[in-house]
Chain A
């Protein structure tokens, strides 16, 4: 089975702090994704990556950056956390690039920015 792990289940940070969210997948998938999920807004794509050192902006990249130095690891960085970034963050990976099929999600990190 595909396993996607995220570094923390719960995280509390202060406004202005730099925050790192780590995601690791063990199935040699080339494609990895970061989403945030908010009540009433659903899942929204922040960034994705089709290969090591490659990144593409999703629908809401502002305030975020990403890093993909190794195939299995995709990091989401909040350069200066703000309260409106309080959310559930979900990482996913997929074997398929074309068509964004069958994504496998991690357990999520619930981030609170105070």
Chain B
């Protein structure tokens, strides 16, 4: 069956370190993979999109990699700050729809 998996356990890191979040998928062949940020009680906010023919994408302190052979995306936040604390969702495109992972909660401690 088709599945998207993100680290179910919360990730706790120290301010200034790099946070790395993982998104694995099975039985999909997405043309795009996206990352969203969601704060408690709010709607997700689009962060980055990476295409299947791209290996890496950067935006300020954010970096996303996409390995279609491993069926995995990694999401990095460098020089993390307490304001980066949120839940991060990966989403992939399938049949004109977005399929979301359940998200990983990131907590950055000062």
Interface size on B, residues (CB 8 A): 19
Say yes or no: B96 contacts A40, CB within 8 Å: no
**Chain B residues whose CB sits within 8 angstroms of the CB of A41 once the complex forms:** 102
Say yes or no: B93 contacts A101, CB within 8 Å: yes
**Chain A residues whose CB sits within 8 angstroms of the CB of B93 once the complex forms:** 99-101
Given known contacts A42-B102, A42-B103, A100 and B43 CB-to-CB distance under 8 angstroms? no
Q: What separation, in Å, do the CA atoms of A104 and B101 have in the docked complex?
A: 17
Task: Determine how close the nearest CB of chain A comes to the CB of B90; give it in whole angstroms.
Answer: 11
A residues apposed to B, CB below 8 Å: 4, 33, 40-43, 45, 48, 58, 90, 92, 97-108, 110
Q: What separation, in Å, do the CA atoms of A82 and B33 have in the docked complex?
A: 34
Task: Determine how close the nearest CB of chain B comes to the CB of A3; give it in whole angstroms.
Answer: 12
B108 within 8 Å of A (CB atoms): no
Q: What separation, in Å, do the CA atoms of A107 and B102 have in the docked complex?
A: 18
**Chain A residues whose CB sits within 8 angstroms of the CB of B31 once the complex forms:** 99
Say yes or no: B102 contacts A102, CB within 8 Å: no
Say yes or no: B89 contacts A108, CB within 8 Å: no
Say yes or no: A105 contacts B43, CB within 8 Å: yes
Q: Mark B71-110, 1 if CB is under 8 A from A, else 0.
A: 0000000000000000001000100111011110000000
New A-B pairs, 7, CB < 8 Å, besides A58-B97, A107-B42: A42-B101, A43-B89, A45-B98, A101-B49, A103-B44, A105-B45, A107-B43
Task: Determine how close the nearest CB of chain B comes to the CB of A32; give it in whole angstroms.
Answer: 13
**Chain A residues whose CB sits within 8 angstroms of the CB of B41 once the complex forms:** 108, 110
**Chain B residues whose CB sits within 8 angstroms of the CB of A110 once the complex forms:** 41
Task: Determine how close the nearest CB of chain A comes to the CB of B16; give it in whole angstroms.
Answer: 30
Question: 21 interchain pairs (CB within 8 A)?
Answer: A40-B102, A42-B100, A42-B101, A42-B102, A42-B103, A43-B44, A43-B100, A45-B97, A58-B97, A97-B96, A99-B96, A100-B93, A100-B96, A100-B97, A101-B32, A102-B46, A102-B49, A103-B44, A103-B46, A107-B42, A108-B42
